[in-house]
Amino acid sequence: MPSITINGRKCEFTPGQTILQIANANGADIPQYCYHDGLSIVASCRICLCEVHAPNPKTGAIEPFMGGKLLPSCQQTASDGMVVYSDSPKAVANQKGVMEFLLINHPLDCPVCDQSGECFLQDYSYAYGRGVSRFQEDKVKQPKKDVGPHVFLYSDRCIMCTRCVRFTREVSGTAELMVMGRGNKEEIDVFPGVPLDNELSANVVDICPVGALLDKDFLFTQRVWFLREAPSIDGLTASGDNLWVHHNEGKVYRVKPRPNARVNKFWITDEVRYGWKFVHSDDRLRQPTRKQFGTPVTCDYAKAYDDVIEGIRKATAHGKRLAVMISPMLSCEEAYLLAKLARRLDPRAVLALGPVPTHGQDKIFPAGASETDPKAFKMYAEKAPNARGVRRVLGAFGGQIEEYDGFLKALGKGLGASDVGAVIATGNYPSEWATDDLTTSLGGKFVVLLDTLVNPLCDRADVVLPGATWVEKSGTFENAKSMLQAFEQAIPVVEAAKSEGQLALDLWAVLDGREMPGEAVRPMMLETTRGQVAAGVQVAVPFGTIFNAADVRREMARTYPALSVFESGVSMPPSEPSPQTDMAMVEL
């Protein structure tokens, strides 16, 4: 394999890679602003300039390449035997010069800047800057602009790397942003009357290396150094986009794309970025309820679980069956535990997939690109993360497995007659989901609802058990490309709610006759270790085994050969990055 040497370190590479790409892949330190793996190379910021030497093709002697001038490492393709220096006196002098020019008109407003703590300009000032400013004149002041529904532009912080402009031309294909003016009057802007308003618009905030483009939704809500991040998967659409969920003290503050070349490249849609708001909705179900004289009243889990088991037993006592509808918003592990519970309660139970919402058509960015283009990005019309995973799991159980229409028919839709006496329905959708068909088909049946948001079915159900959103639990989703991807729990489950997997395990324990804990609800701290284990504070005490997605996957693979893929074929999230502190913590 060909190799080059960067700052004394030998790095192998694939022909066609640039020096900077090789440096980034090998952890070698070369500063960079305008370069981005997902965009074209313009080599405009000039901070990545390096001193390059290469073997003379005739003599083999290592000599200065291209006459010894500094070369942009982001643009220069590597050749075997090159020797590169980003830390030579010449390269360092350039870095200091570039930093000085960039900071000439940059406001010193780090204390009030949202990007502070994750800003390349800030980091490179420490690493490559001068430490003092020699600039005596007045700074050029540029305006703050409202450029689109999700994005503010603080023009005076911009370093003109043009990443944002290239994004709107090459990725979204909408070209709303442009460079206007010349010299120190140069600024980013939108065309009059054409705001930055496309389905991918907020990605420009992620790629802006400084605090010029800001997310309106996150603006001034948290300092980034307070945020913790959990690797997650899109829990709202069939994309399987890889995410970081940034949270603090049990609250999600923002969602960012996690690069994955096979899935979302470097991007996510605004729909996925902002769709998590229902997690903290006032309409979240927080306590179990049961019907008392026809009215839903809150109760503890012991009473709710007893009612569920007793109600289902009574309703299925005379040849009637249980039907269980598993939402495509739930993970594969939860689908497995609920199906297993259903078949224990009634070996003839009908297992069905819940409604799979769609909205419009699939969309490819940029418009007109082929889906097979490695740079194309796809937005999915299917607004559920795991329809394929739930189908896969239910299929392994055999017996009567239905799609949503078949489930409604099994409940007696259109016929009036049905051999179903009890129903367990799961929701977990981010908005209203229960159709009139479903509500009318439930007439005369014992109904248990596992859901996250208040909805009309709550009044109809005999018992309601509060579930958890995907950021409150770990699990696996199968995306539209049939990739199984695991995700971690980011925040604790709201108040006394429990994940649907935990509810299934609790009901299993009640069926086993296991003794109930003395108090139904009390605070308790679980392991904070990463690795598919529930993390953080759990308020509701589990009755059964604690839900652990990794354990459930192993059981699935052991029990059903058709599910063996859950043992070895699941892409796991990355492990926690080690903290990189540049200062010692002092106990006061």
Footprint of ligand FES (CB under 6 A): 32-35, 43-48, 72, 74
Is 99 among the residues that bind ligand SF4 (CB under 6 A)? no
Min dist CB 74 to ligand FES, Å, is 3
Amino acid at position 148, single letter: G
Contact between 424 and 322 (Cβ < 8 Å): yes
Closest contact distance (angstroms) between CB of 307 and ligand SF4 is 57
35 binds, among ligand SF4, ligand FES, none (CB under 5 to 8 A by kind): ligand FES
Q: Report the C-alpha gap between 535 and 477 in whole angstroms.
A: 19
- Per partner kind, with CB cut-offs from 5 to 8 A, the member of ligand SF4, ligand FES, none near residue 74 is ligand FES
Contact partner, 23, from ligand SF4, ligand FES, none, Cβ < 5-8 Å per class: none
Give the residues across from 465 on adjacent strands: 450
Q: Which is nearer to ligand SF4, 208 or 312 (CB)?
A: 208
212 binds ligand SF4 (CB under 6 A): yes
Site for ligand SF4 in 521-550 (CB under 6 A): none
Q: Does residue 164 bind ligand SF4 (CB under 6 A)?
A: yes
To ligand SF4, the closest distance from the beta carbon of 482 in angstroms equals 35
- Radius of gyration (Cα) for the chain, nearest Å? 28
**CA distance linking residue 375 with residue 468, whole number of Å:** 35
* Cis bond before residue 259 (omega within 30° of 0): no
Give the separation between CA 476 and CA 204, rounded to whole angstroms. Answer: 29
Q: Which does 32 bind (CB under 5 to 8 A by kind): ligand SF4, ligand FES, none?
A: ligand FES
Shortest separation between residue 210's beta carbon and ligand SF4, angstroms: 5
Q: With CB cut-offs between 5 and 8 Å by kind, which of ligand SF4, ligand FES, none does residue 263 bind?
A: none
The set of long-range contacts for 12-17, using a CB threshold of 8 Å and a minimum separation of 24, is 13/78, 16/77, 17/77, 17/78
Per CB under 6 A, 188 contacts ligand SF4: yes
- Smallest distance from ligand SF4 to CB 480, Å: 30
Mark the segment that binds ligand SF4 (CB under 6 A) among 210-218, 374-382, 445-453, 485-493: 210-218
**Interaction of residue 210 with ligand SF4, rule CB under 6 A:** yes
CB 508 within 8 A of CB 308: no
Pick the closer one to ligand SF4 by CB: 213 or 325: 213
Question: Are the beta carbons of 549 and 474 closer than 8 angstroms?
Answer: yes
Residue 508 tokens, joined = 């299993």
Residue 161 as a binder of ligand SF4 (CB under 6 A): the answer is yes
> For 242, what's the count of Cα atoms within 13 Å in the CB-facing half-sphere?
18
Q: Which of residues 447-476 bind ligand SF4 (CB under 6 A)?
A: none
Q: Is 160 in the site for ligand SF4 (CB under 6 A)?
A: yes
Q: How far is the CB of 274 from ligand SF4 (least distance, A)?
A: 20
Angle (nearest 5°) at CA 101 between 96 and 104: 120
E-strand ranges in 473-576 read 475-478, 484-487, 521-525, 537-540, 570-571
422 binding ligand SF4? (CB under 6 A): no
Give per-residue burial for 315-354: e unless 16+ CB within 10 Å, then b. Answer: bbeeebbbbbbbbbbbbbbbbbbbbbbbbebbeebbbbbb
Segment lying near ligand SF4 (by CB under 6 A), choices 59-67, 71-79, 208-216, 575-583 = 208-216
How far is Cα 54 from Cα 493, in angstroms, rounded to an integer?
58
368: Cα within 13 Å, side-chain hemisphere: 4
| Residue 340 touches which of ligand FES, ligand SF4, none (Cβ within 5-8 Å per kind) | none
Instruction: Specify the stretch interacting with ligand SF4 by CB under 6 A; choose among 98-106, 158-166, 347-355, 357-365.
Output: 158-166
Q: Is residue 509 packed enough to be buried (19+ CB in 10 Å), middle (13-18) or exposed (0-12)?
A: middle
Residues of this chain that bind ligand SF4 (CB under 6 A): 158-164, 188, 208-210, 212-213
